[in-house]
Amino acid sequence: MDVKALLTSSLLLETVIRYNDPIAQYYKRVKKRTGSGKEAQKSTMHKLVMMIYHMLSKREAWTYAEEQLTEIANELNCLS
Protein backbone atom coordinates (compact mmCIF):
# COMPACT_ATOMS: atom_id res chain seq x y z
CA MET A 1 0.00 0.00 0.00
CA ASP A 2 1.18 3.52 -0.77
CA VAL A 3 2.52 5.37 2.28
CA LYS A 4 0.32 8.42 1.63
CA ALA A 5 -2.76 6.23 1.31
CA LEU A 6 -1.87 4.41 4.52
CA LEU A 7 -1.41 7.66 6.45
CA THR A 8 -4.61 9.11 5.01
CA SER A 9 -6.64 6.04 5.90
CA SER A 10 -5.16 5.99 9.39
CA LEU A 11 -6.06 9.65 9.92
CA LEU A 12 -9.56 9.06 8.55
CA LEU A 13 -10.07 6.12 10.88
CA GLU A 14 -8.87 8.01 13.96
CA THR A 15 -11.16 10.94 13.17
CA VAL A 16 -14.21 8.78 12.53
CA ILE A 17 -13.63 6.76 15.70
CA ARG A 18 -13.35 9.98 17.70
CA TYR A 19 -16.56 11.59 16.39
CA ASN A 20 -18.85 8.70 15.38
CA ASP A 21 -20.07 6.62 18.32
CA PRO A 22 -21.44 3.63 16.35
CA ILE A 23 -18.13 3.23 14.49
CA ALA A 24 -16.18 3.68 17.73
CA GLN A 25 -18.29 1.00 19.40
CA TYR A 26 -17.71 -1.33 16.42
CA TYR A 27 -13.95 -0.74 16.67
CA LYS A 28 -13.97 -1.48 20.42
CA ARG A 29 -16.00 -4.68 19.94
CA VAL A 30 -13.62 -5.97 17.27
CA LYS A 31 -10.58 -5.04 19.34
CA LYS A 32 -11.99 -6.85 22.37
CA ARG A 33 -12.95 -9.90 20.29
CA THR A 34 -9.64 -10.20 18.44
CA GLY A 35 -7.35 -8.76 21.10
CA SER A 36 -5.58 -6.81 18.38
CA GLY A 37 -5.80 -3.11 17.65
CA LYS A 38 -4.37 -3.75 14.20
CA GLU A 39 -7.13 -6.23 13.29
CA ALA A 40 -9.74 -3.84 14.67
CA GLN A 41 -8.31 -1.03 12.52
CA LYS A 42 -8.37 -3.18 9.39
CA SER A 43 -11.92 -4.38 10.05
CA THR A 44 -13.21 -0.90 10.84
CA MET A 45 -11.48 0.60 7.79
CA HIS A 46 -13.06 -2.10 5.62
CA LYS A 47 -16.47 -1.18 7.04
CA LEU A 48 -15.88 2.51 6.28
CA VAL A 49 -14.71 1.79 2.73
CA MET A 50 -17.80 -0.32 2.09
CA MET A 51 -20.04 2.45 3.46
CA ILE A 52 -18.36 5.03 1.20
CA TYR A 53 -18.52 2.70 -1.80
CA HIS A 54 -22.24 2.17 -1.23
CA MET A 55 -22.87 5.91 -0.97
CA LEU A 56 -20.97 6.61 -4.19
CA SER A 57 -22.33 3.70 -6.21
CA LYS A 58 -25.95 4.39 -5.19
CA ARG A 59 -25.44 8.16 -5.37
CA GLU A 60 -26.94 8.55 -1.92
CA ALA A 61 -26.06 11.06 0.76
CA TRP A 62 -25.06 9.93 4.23
CA THR A 63 -28.04 9.13 6.42
CA TYR A 64 -27.95 8.82 10.18
CA ALA A 65 -29.75 6.11 12.11
CA GLU A 66 -31.93 8.81 13.64
CA GLU A 67 -33.99 10.53 10.96
CA GLN A 68 -33.95 13.84 12.86
CA LEU A 69 -30.13 14.01 12.64
CA THR A 70 -30.28 13.44 8.88
CA GLU A 71 -32.77 16.29 8.51
CA ILE A 72 -30.55 18.63 10.55
CA ALA A 73 -27.49 17.69 8.49
CA ASN A 74 -29.39 18.31 5.27
CA GLU A 75 -30.50 21.72 6.49
CA LEU A 76 -26.92 22.63 7.42
CA ASN A 77 -25.68 21.54 3.98
CA CYS A 78 -28.25 23.81 2.33
CA LEU A 79 -26.99 26.77 4.35
CA SER A 80 -23.37 26.45 3.27
3-state secondary structure of 72: helix
pTM above 0.85, yes or no: no
- DSSP codes, 4-69: HHHHHHHHHHHHHHHH-HHHHHHHHHHHHHHS-HHHHHHHHHHHHHHHHHHHHHHT-----SSHHH
Distance, in Å, from the CA atom of 30 to the CA atom of 26, rounded to the nearest integer, reads 6
What is the pLDDT of the chain when averaged over all its residues? 82
Asked if the model's pLDDT at residue 80 lies above 70, the reply is no
Q: Could you read off the pLDDT of 3-41 as tens digits, one per residue?
A: 887 788 888 888 888 888 888 999 999 999 999 888 999
Share of the chain above pLDDT 70, in %: 82
The predicted pLDDT at position 79 comes to: 54
